[in-house]
Structure 1
Amino acid sequence: MYVSNEWNDYEVIDTGNGEKLERWGDVILRRPDPQIIWPIANEDKAWRDVHGHYHRSSSGGGSWEMKKPIPERWTISFDQLKFYIKPTSFKHTGLFPEQAANWRWMMDKISNAKRPINVLNLFAYTGGASVACASAGASVVHVDAAKGMVQWAKENLALSGLGDRPVRFITDDVFKFVQREQRRGNHYDAIIMDPPSYGRGPSGETWKLEQSLYPFVESCLSILSDKPLFFLINSYTTGISPTVLNNILTMTVKQRYGGRISAGELGLPITKSGMNLPCGILGRWEE
């Protein structure tokens, strides 16, 4: 497991009964998590003394119950990186803190490459990886289909004092963007992707990770440079093993370029129990 244990501004305080108790800076939130199938060891005052509690609805979705006033959005830091946090209607806050383990790895790879690195970040959300790569000196192309998330990513980059770095923000369907890059003959030294379990393209095309991930990764080979640095796949799709990502990368990137693959779970330390909370999986290829 790749545990993101370098945070000061974020903490999983406790877990149990399908929920996690988290600290985001000075704000305490209680949110559902399907991986937490164990009981709360001691549902003490901390579980009740929260700023916000997200309740699942039996009909799908859910809503926030705000118990204390909080800012419309606030800032947390990871090293020199800064991010805006805001509770959204679909339980998320705009950041997946377990990804810090990937940020650190990518920053180290880019810093130690001793050459210019062009990064393509697909399904890029609010830009945690884009900000991390830019801070390490890479040129970044950030692509996401959601206009609001791309704007959030721009604001995160500026918040981190990196607004002058060479980052292009593109609101587009990632599949069509990759096809256009193939036709243009553009190439990247590193590709990051965090594909959804399900999705629909602008013309009604259906994405289902189990059927679509392998051919999409294969199509990305044509936009890798002659000397790629890394290829990272994240997944939060239930039932997909890290070995699946290992196998896909072995049959695509490693078959063409050699190199090394590692795969496993992402995790966050739980302060109260000393255990780790599983938070999705990753597959990494590196030169």
Structure 2
Amino acid sequence: MYVADDWKDYEVIDTGGGEKLERWGDVILRRPDPQIIWPLANDSGAWKDVHGHYHRSSSGGGSWDMKKTLPERWSIGYDKLKFHIKPTSFKHTGLFPEQAANWRWMMNKIADAGRPIRVLNLFAYTGGATVAAAYAGAEVVHVDAAKGMVQWAKENAALSGLADRPVRYITDDVFKFVQREKRRGNQYDGIIMDPPSYGRGPSGETWKLEESLYPFLSECMDILSDRPLFMLINSYTTGISPTVLRNMLTMTMQPKFGGNISAGEIGLPITTSGMNLPCGILGRWES
């Protein structure tokens, strides 16, 4: 497991009963997590003294029960990077802290490359990886279909003091953007993708990870430079194993570029128990 264990402003305090107790800076939140199928030892103390508790609805979705007054948003830091945090109606906060394990790896790869690096961040959300890559010195193209997430990413970059870095923010269907980049002859040294399990494009196109990921990865092969640095695939889709990502990278990246492939779970340490919380999977190819 790749564990993001060097946070100072974020912490999984405890887990149990299908929920996790988290510290985001000075704010304590209680949120559901489908991986937590073990019982809660003691539903008292810190579990009760929270700023906000997200409750799932039996009919789908859910809502926040705010116990204490919170600002509309606040910020937390990771190393020299900073991010705006805001509880959303879908239980998320605008950041996946486990991805810090990838940020650290990526920043080291870019900083050690000894040459200009151009990175494409696809399904880029609020730009955690974009901020990390830009901080390390890469030119970045950030693509997401949601206009609000792209704006959030711009604000995260500015918050981190990176507003003047060479980053292009694009609101577009990711698959169509890659096809256009192929026609234009544009190329990248690193590609990051964090595809959804299921989605629809602006013209009704359907994305289903199990059917769409391999063809999409094949398309991305055509926009890699002759000397690519890395390819990173993240997935939160239940039922897809790290070996699936490893196999796809073995079939696409390795025959053309050689290099090394690694895959596994990604997670966060749990302070109270000393265990790790699984948060998804990743596959990495690197030169």
TM-score (norm 2): 1.00
One-letter amino acid matched to 1:161: G
Equivalent AA in structure 2 for residue 214 of structure 1: Y
Rounded Cα–Cα distance in structure 2 between residues aligned with 1:261 and 1:161: 33
Residue 168 of structure 2 is matched in structure 1 by 168
The residue type paired with residue 50 of structure 1 is V
Q: How far did residue 34 of structure 1 move?
A: 0.1
Corresponding residue for residue 57 of structure 1: 57
Which digits, 9 at most, give the CA deviation of each residue in 1:167-199, with x for residues without a partner? 000000000000100000000000000000001
Secondary structure in structure 1 of the residue aligned to 2:187: coil
Does the residue aligned with 1:256 lie in a helix, a strand or coil? helix
Residue 244 (structure 1) aligns with: 244
Aligned to 1:98: 98
Structure 1 residue identity aligned to 2:218: E
Shift of 1:42: 2.1
Q: Is 2:274 the counterpart of 1:274?
A: yes
SS of equivalent to 2:14: strand
Moved over 3 A (4+): none
Give the gaps of 5 or more residues in structure 2: none
- TM-score, length of structure 1 as denominator length: 1.00
Query: Residue 223 of structure 1: SS of its match in structure 2?
Result: coil
Shift of 1:93: 0.1
Three-state SS of the structure 2 residue aligned to 1:163 is: coil
1:171-250 alignment, distance < 5 Å: 171-250=171-250
2:153 partner amino acid? A
Query: What per-residue deviation string (whole Å, max 9, x for no partner) do you get for residues 180-227 of structure 1?
Result: 000000000000000000011121111100000001001100000000
Q: How big is the shift at 1:44?
A: 2.5
- Aligned residues: CA RMSD: 0.4
Write the distance in 1 (CA, Å) between the matches of 2:12 and 2:116: 37
| Number of aligned positions between the proteins | 287
Letter in 2 for 1:187: Q
What SS does the corresponding residue of 1:195 show, helix, strand or coil?
coil
Q: Which runs of 5+ in 1 are unaligned?
A: none
Q: Structure 1 residue 77: deviation in Å? A: 0.1
Output the CA distance in 2 between the equivalents of 1:62 and 1:178.
35
- 1:256 aligned partner: 256
State whether structure 2 residue 116 is matched by structure 1 residue 116.
yes
- What does residue 42 of structure 1 align with? 42
Counterpart residue identity of residue 107, structure 1: M
**Which amino acid in 2 is paired with 1:63?**
S
CA drift of 1:254 comes to 1.2
Whichever residue aligns with residue 59 of structure 1, its letter is S
Alpha-carbon separation, structure 2, partners of 1:34 and 1:282: 18
Counting aligned pairs with the same residue, the percent is 82
Rounded to whole Å, the distance in 1 between the matches of 2:64 and 2:255 is 47
Find the residue that maps to 1:255 and give its secondary structure: helix
CA distance in 2 between partners of 1:206 and 1:168 (Å): 26
Q: Report deviation, 1:272.
A: 0.3
Read off the aligned partner of 1:280 and give its amino acid letter. G
Q: 1:255: Cα distance to partner?
A: 1.6
Distance in 2, Cα, partners of 1:219 & 1:255: 15
